[in-house]
Amino acid sequence: MPTPPPPASLEGLSLADIARLAEEKKLPPVERWNPEHCGDSEMRIARDGTWFHQGSPIGRPAMVRLFSTILRREADGRHVLVTPVEKLDIAVEDAAFVAVELKSEGSGRERRLAFRLNTGDIVVAGPDHPLRFAAGEAGPQPYLAVRGGLEALVARPVYYELAELALEEGGDPPGLWSAGAFFAMGGGG
């Protein structure tokens, strides 16, 4: 049975709806597949989240979504596309995903932050999906843990939303709670 398409936006969804959608998503068990390495996929994920094959952008979102479900990060940091019978390298310029939308509910320790990724996936920040802030040339660069060592680069407009929420909270150090975990917004990584 095909999976339903991801929501186009988090607007209008409660965090309970978002949590249900995130839990319903079934991913292939790529962590259990260990075929022989077969070579290079001739694919690349650009910093802005655009997927390329042989230098050309992949224009079909459904195709990108499909490939994203078989993406895995190896212990040595490489990214691969893996099936039960083959494993192919894929170049990733920064992070495998980009967090393009934020939804926040609650405040302080009761806050929950949900992110929609460029692939349509939804991830709620928390102990299993921490936010980290690395030092970057343009200031702190936030990343969200997605699964199995894969991360999402938090898009700059979404980072500004996070910063505004943190300033409203007035914490010292500045940061945000989500799903019971606190994430300081420093630049240390």
Give per-residue pLDDT as tens, 104-153: 999 999 999 999 999 999 999 999 999 999 988 877 899 999 999 999 99
Residue 65's domain comprises: 25-92
Residue 6 lies inside a defined structural domain of this protein: no
pLDDT of residue 169: 87
Last residue of a domain, one of 68, 92, 116: 92
Count structural domains, the chain: 2
At 32 the pLDDT is: 87
Confidence (pLDDT) at 54: 97
Domain end (from 40, 64, 92): 92
The answer to whether residues 103 and 177 belong to one domain is: yes
88 and 107 housed in the same domain: no
Residue 74, Cα to own-chain centre: how many angstroms?
17
Task: Please indicate, yes or no, whether residues 70 and 37 belong to a single structural domain of this protein.
Answer: yes
The last residue of one of the domains, among 65, 92, 119, is: 92
pTM, 2 dp: 0.83
Tokens linked to 130: 């921490």
Q: Which residues contact 71 (CB under 8 A, 6 or more apart)?
A: 30, 79, 80, 81, 90, 96, 150
Residues of the chain with pLDDT under 50: 1-4, 189
- The CATH number given to whatever domain includes residue 105 is 2.30.270.10
Residues 88 and 140 in one domain: no
Report the CATH number at residue 56. Answer: 3.10.540.10
